[in-house]
Structure 1
């Protein structure tokens, strides 16, 4: 992106209430809190080329959240009767957090579904983690789902994103999950100029060859994320855009989910609108779900999110991305 384009993008998203041409910025209200995401920390065993939040073996901008801290939000859900059905765990790599099994146990024991976003590599494949996962699967069955990041169905493109040898290790992890009866989903990317139909056909061939319990033409079973090119100039989203895009604000993931993170140096975890705004402090909504529901500041209108970040347009409104699978129960 040229310096002029960067300057134009900054002008576009400078005013939380109005777009650069003076139109009212779109807002998304929380309609029903269905998924609560817990970011287990930004540390990861690998450093992907285009990681959405720059996770790596050295990035601890978001520190490990503890089992007790996560449990406090489960307590709040139960006490205040939030209609949460799913607890999602993302990172970084969730299986690097020493409390991940405890957090999964707590979520599942309380009757929630649990969704873990993982690369299915060495952290998940440690013997102690595998034994614990087998126990959770035995106790809770399909309410525990592991969604594995397999960026492409070919080794070359996957390794281009995640590093040499990562495809083989990830496939090994998926093979193990499939062999032991886990509920599995896959997450790919659409950054190689391939249309969705061709991509799903490619995944379908790989899935069939390895007998994985994944349905390639089901958007909940194989999620294909739009590419997040931060160098790309994107339009702002106004109230009029919903009709133009033939989409509803209720389809945005911030209409049904919130994210819990703990930033390095903070005493308490923080509630954010979604999984993509972890590095923008002004999007902090408070330390509890109750505070977040009433958040009112430059970025929020009594809990409604003003779409004042390029990711809001790039990933969600225009890209159709959502970290929770559609219609997941």
Structure 2
């Protein structure tokens, strides 16, 4: 796996796939009900955030652009494997940096899937050619396309601290364009800033009311609040006994229901990874096909504990 940051947190933990630091059996999750297949469209982004888990930036092309033929190939594999997929998700980077984003979304929509695109709703999405393509998609596939906009905080001050001065206003402008053109709109924020979940949702509710956005701040599928993914924070390892202790099931964890396709720089073909949060960690690289991706996943990373099991978060709707 990827080397964890040099810190006193988690010393000795997350070293072995199937055994914890205390010698207990590490929790393992099966792909029991595949519902979402994610495509990382590439790590290039128009901005560089302070705490981007995937290190997206205007110069990071560690994950290169996918193309429409590659997406169609995996959609064919979904049919072949008889996966009960309900949703196709596109993430980045900024997906609208990819020149084939509209075509890739259309390929998924033509198969009858719901499509979710994660975006910062800034300049790449606001290009005229992209706007025209998006409007055509919702005309051709009404009710099937959702855009989830990254809005780290409900105030410009804190959002801009993460994403750069002026980014809040540009994102809000993009959200207005989406709503005015009839798109289904959701928001992804960060559940941090020393506030409770209720306080965060109250802040988003006030913003949505002020801006006239048709988004329910108290609906977790419309306003998704992600826990901060800090690998330097001490977290417990998840053992097989934790399911009973926590009153949870392996089926509650994101890797029981989703996989993500990425294409690494210099690679001849894409590969499938276990989790949208761990695209760079070799242990979670499962192989080039969906058949390869059906293997069980050992929860051998701090994100598995903090984000998924204890945080209860999921990238899907």
Whether the aligned pair in 2 keeps the contact of 1:141 and 1:182 (CA below 8 Å) is no
* C-alpha deviation, 1:248, in angstroms: 1.5
Residue equivalent to 2:259: 258
Residue equivalent to 2:299: 307
* C-alpha deviation, 1:80, in angstroms: 3.0
TM-score, scaled relative to structure 2: 0.96
Show structure 2 runs of 5+ residues with no match.
Answer: none
Residues 4 and 267 of structure 1: CA distance in aligned 2, closer, same or farther (over 3 Å)? closer
Structure 2 residue matching 1:313: 3-state secondary structure: helix
- Structure 2 residue 188 is matched with structure 1 residue 196: no
For 1:151 and 1:90, locate their aligned partners in 2 and report how far apart those are by CA, in whole Å.
Answer: 16
For 1:291 and 1:170, locate their aligned partners in 2 and report how far apart those are by CA, in whole Å.
Answer: 38
For 2:81 and 2:14, locate their aligned partners in 1 and report how far apart those are by CA, in whole Å.
Answer: 35
Residue equivalent to 2:8: 5
For 1:162 and 1:29, locate their aligned partners in 2 and report how far apart those are by CA, in whole Å.
Answer: 36
Residue equivalent to 2:76: 75
Q: How many residues align?
A: 314
Show structure 1 runs of 5+ residues with no match.
Answer: 294-302
Q: 1:322 aligns with which of 302, 314, 317?
A: 314
For 2:7 and 2:218, locate their aligned partners in 1 and report how far apart those are by CA, in whole Å.
Answer: 41
For 2:77 and 2:128, locate their aligned partners in 1 and report how far apart those are by CA, in whole Å.
Answer: 33
Summarize deviations over 1:221-271 as a string: whole Å, max 9, x none. Answer: 000000112221211000111222222111111000000000111111001
For 2:182 and 2:6, locate their aligned partners in 1 and report how far apart those are by CA, in whole Å.
Answer: 52
Whether the aligned pair in 2 keeps the contact of 1:226 and 1:320 (CA below 8 Å) is no
TM-score, scaled relative to structure 1: 0.93
Structure 2 residue matching 1:16: 3-state secondary structure: coil
For 2:11 and 2:77, locate their aligned partners in 1 and report how far apart those are by CA, in whole Å.
Answer: 37
* C-alpha deviation, 1:277, in angstroms: 1.1
For 1:151 and 1:176, locate their aligned partners in 2 and report how far apart those are by CA, in whole Å.
Answer: 19
Residues 141 and 279 of structure 1: CA distance in aligned 2, closer, same or farther (over 3 Å)? same
Whether the aligned pair in 2 keeps the contact of 1:226 and 1:319 (CA below 8 Å) is yes
Matches within 5 A, 1:145-184: 145-184=146-185
Structure 1 residue matching 2:187: 3-state secondary structure: strand
Residue equivalent to 1:298: none
For 1:132 and 1:125, locate their aligned partners in 2 and report how far apart those are by CA, in whole Å.
Answer: 11
Residue equivalent to 1:50: 51
* C-alpha deviation, 1:195, in angstroms: 0.4
